Amino acid sequence: MSIDPELLKILACPVDKGPLELVDDTLVNPRLGHRYEVRAGVPILLRPDHVDAAEARAGRAVR
């Protein structure tokens, strides 16, 4: 699944507020190396520390 090009133009990294790049259906911040999942065309722009906390609450293994 891909992201609409118009949406990609306005998306920003939640950490440094800079632009993101689409690489293999994943949004990437090339400055920090953060990667953001895209599920069914919807970007999941949770800060990496928030993802770990959410996965721990859901009982999933933390990366």
- Give the domain CATH number at 37: 2.20.25
Q: Is residue 35 part of a domain?
A: yes
Distance CA 20, CA 33 (A): 10
Distance CA 35, CA 32 (A): 9
- Per the structure, how many domains does the chain have? 1
Distance (Å) of CA 62 to CA 13, 27, 38, 53: 21, 20, 19, 8
CB within 8 Å of 9: residues ≥ 6 apart: none
Q: What is the pLDDT of residues 6-43, one digit of tens each?
A: 999 999 999 999 999 999 989 999 999 999 999 888 89
Q: What is the pLDDT of residues 23-32, one digit of tens each?
A: 998 999 999 9
Range of the domain at 18: 5-57
Model confidence, pTM: 0.73
Distance CA 45, CA 17 (A): 11
